[in-house]
Structure 1
Amino acid sequence: MLVAKITAEKASELVGQEYQSGAKFSPVQDNQGNWIVSLVEAQYMSISDIEVIEFEPLEIDESEI
């Protein structure tokens, strides 16, 4: 799955901001420490603010749960 990578500064700026009525940016960190948003959210940002990357889901050791 593709996602949009953003800077930590941009993530701080966007968190909780509405990008359309009733929908807010919600940047999260992936397992490599990258700040990411969905491609839907990225549509409302400048192309210079994003880098499209492949999402790598966090691998959880179920024995630790």
Structure 2
Amino acid sequence: MRRTTLKELGESIERKKAELGYSGQDYVVRNSGQYRTESKRALLRNIEAAAAERGEEPPFKANY
């Protein structure tokens, strides 16, 4: 069994991300929301509405 240090693992992940053309931390594909339950969709709408009432952007971008 080959042992891998966390440093080696991190370097390996960074190499793979570079090979795939990803950079930084903003590379995760956004969830489409296709399989969300109606209660989760309602929760996200309420969070967005509450932020809008305060004149703020919600802390996330949600597809629902």
Larger radius of gyration: 2
Shorter-chain TM-score above 0.5: no
| TM-score, normalization by structure 1 | 0.24
- Larger % of helix: which? 2
- Larger % of strand: which? 1
* Larger RCO: 1 or 2 (CA < 8 Å, sep 6+): 1
